Structure 1
Amino acid sequence: MLNILGKTTSINVRKVLWTCEEAGLAYQQQDYGSGFASTETDAFRALNPNAMVPVLIDGDFVLWESNAICRYLARKAGRDDLLPTHMQACANVERWMDWQASEFNNAWRYAFPALGRKNPDYNDPARIAAGIKEWNHCIAILEQQLQRTRAWAAGDTFTLADVVLGLSVNRWKMTPLDHPAVPAIDAWFARLHQRPAFLRHGNNGML
């Protein structure tokens, strides 16, 4: 039985839970993080020195970093539809996963706490505006990609790229800001809604 440490309100925990369900892997989840069991303990830091969630425990093997966990889960389940074994097809999926983690997520580092979380420490109008601009720039990149594929983020089939990007786009859609028209993203998002695991862990009312 896989053990996933991390609260379900975490966007990164939810992508791991979604992947488990898509891959048909049994798991148990324990709430760790703000408001739940502390990650700031020696015991937790022994699992993840960053003191962040999620953490995956599979027997004696411990793994942190959500996208790495998603890749591991797909391979463990032998789901080459989620993460292809063909080198170039795999690289294409991983490109969009890495872009999600490095570019897309960094774009909302200031705007989301300000607008989505209403954190009073994030109150600089110029930085909020700059964050929205960068966030929407990333959305435009994904919109162009989906206009090309007319299907899923990495091509004709659903993959891990759609899992990680689905959570990020859900956050963008739920954050109160002026959203540009994105018909290709909207059509893709509607396709995600046909997946029960997305409704449980992606678009489930949580930012």
Structure 2
Amino acid sequence: MVRIWGRANSINVQKVLWACEEVGVRFDRIDAGMQFGVTTTPEFRVMNPNGLVPVLDDGGFTLWESHAILRYLARRYGTGGLWPADEQIAARTDQWMDWCAGTVWPDMKVVFLNLVRRQPPERDMQAVEQSIRNLGVTLGILDAHLAVQPYVAGTHLSVGDIPIAVNAYRWFELDIERPALPHLQAWYGRVSSQPGFVKHCAVPLT
């Protein structure tokens, strides 16, 4: 059993919990971050000096940064499944995970924080509207990619789908105008039916 520090409503923690379900790893989750505190304690800062969640402990081996944790779990416990055995297909998962972190999340974060975490008087709606436009273009790239294959790295669900899927959940759940992206919508239907997604990611946005 591994231990995971992080609150259940964190997008980055949700990625890791879903991955654990996919590879069949039992875990014990410990509330940490925001209202739960913990992340400022000396003990936590030894595990992650950044004071952020999630943190993974696998038999004394600790790791932080959600995508690094995803890759570790997929390689250690899911090779041939969540982590493709073919090196070139595996490289595609890396490509889309990094694309999600560097291209999708910066705009999604602006939209999410303003519309979910902030009260109306505190919202920067100009920034929200620009980020929504950016996301329409960005996700259009993925939509075109998914026109020729069912998942981001090929014919099967891989670790590369997980970060994008938790962002897509916010894209589809928030009360915003979205362009028609039929291939993205079809892919989202497939990934959002995964038991791990349903259990850990399809939760109220807070």
Q: Secondary structure at the match of 1:91?
A: helix
Cα shift readout 1:96-119 (whole Å, capped 9, x = no counterpart): 011111111012232221123334
Separation in 2 of the partners of 1:152 and 1:188? 7
Q: Does 1:176 align with 2:175?
A: yes
Change (3 A) 1:119 1:45: farther
Separation in 2 of the partners of 1:10 and 1:109? 12
Change (3 A) 1:45 1:120: farther
Q: Which residue of 2 aligns with 1:104?
A: 104
Q: Does 1:142 align with 2:122?
A: no
Query: How does the TM-score come out when normalised to structure 2?
Result: 0.93
Separation in 1 of the partners of 2:109 and 2:31? 24
Q: Which amino acid in the other structure matches residue 165 of structure 2? A: G
Q: Secondary structure at the match of 1:35?
A: helix
- List runs of 5+ in structure 2 lacking aligned partners: none
Separation in 1 of the partners of 2:154 and 2:52? 32
Change (3 A) 1:121 1:76: farther
Q: Which amino acid in the other structure matches residue 162 of structure 2? A: V
Q: Which amino acid in the other structure matches residue 111 of structure 1? A: V
Cα shift readout 1:109-151 (whole Å, capped 9, x = no counterpart): 32221123334575333222211111222221111111121x1
Q: Which residue of 2 aligns with 1:133?
A: 133
Query: How does the TM-score come out when normalised to structure 1?
Result: 0.92
Q: Which residue of 1 aligns with 2:43?
A: 43
Deviation at 1:58, TM superposition (A): 1.0
Separation in 2 of the partners of 1:2 and 1:205? 26
Change (3 A) 1:206 1:123: closer
Separation in 1 of the partners of 2:34 and 2:161? 27
Change (3 A) 1:125 1:193: closer
Deviation at 1:205, TM superposition (A): 3.1
Separation in 1 of the partners of 2:121 and 2:52? 21
Q: Which residue of 2 aligns with 1:153?
A: 152
> What percent of counterpart residues are identical?
37
Q: Which residue of 2 aligns with 1:165?
A: 164
Does structure 2 conserve the Cα–Cα contact (< 8 Å) formed by 1:6 and 1:53? yes
Deviation at 1:169, TM superposition (A): 0.3
Q: Does 1:65 align with 2:65?
A: yes
Q: Which amino acid in the other structure matches residue 51 of structure 1? A: G
Separation in 2 of the partners of 1:84 and 1:183? 26
Separation in 2 of the partners of 1:112 and 1:105? 10
Q: Which runs of 4+ in 1 moved over 6 A?
A: none
